[in-house]
Amino acid sequence: MLKILKSGEDVIAIEVSGKITGADLDSIMDRLDQVMTRHDKVHVFVETQLIDGIELSDLPAYFSRAMPLFGKLDRFGRVAVVADQVWVRFGTRFESAILPSISYRTYMPEERDEALAWVEGRPD
């Protein structure tokens, strides 16, 4: 399930739980496209809860939309991932290591408000 959260205009803020569907991925990409047309830098807040899988049949369509973003990595600023599962936080740290130009931070669920404030560039 995907929920788009209220956030700053240059922020994509989402909550994801359960199984991630193709419709969820399309919604994320649509939101990303909207924000990138209006802002030079895009910041991302992702809150996950009990992710139990992704519909594999939908990945090819997602990858075809996501691949052009590798040419726009300089347009990504702060990325905060709030996760209740260790494997999600580990995956985020791995992604951060291979994309060092993007500022990543991982947070525990109880640090959610701090994570959103950081992504939005608000003081703690």
d(CA 90, CA 74): 23
**CATH number of the domain within which 39 lies:** 3.30.750.24
34 neighbors 67 (Cβ within 8 angstroms): no
- Look up the pTM and report it: 0.91
Stretch 95-119: mean pLDDT: 94
15 neighbors 7 (Cβ within 8 angstroms): no
Contacts of 8 by beta carbon, 8 Å cutoff, 6+ apart: 43, 120, 121
Residue 8: strand, helix, or coil? coil
pLDDT tens digits, one per residue of 49-98: 999 888 888 788 888 888 999 899 999 999 999 999 999 999 999 998 98
Could you tell me the residue range of the domain that residue 98 belongs to?
2-120
pLDDT tens digits, one per residue of 21-50: 989 999 999 999 999 999 999 999 999 999
Domain count, the chain: 1
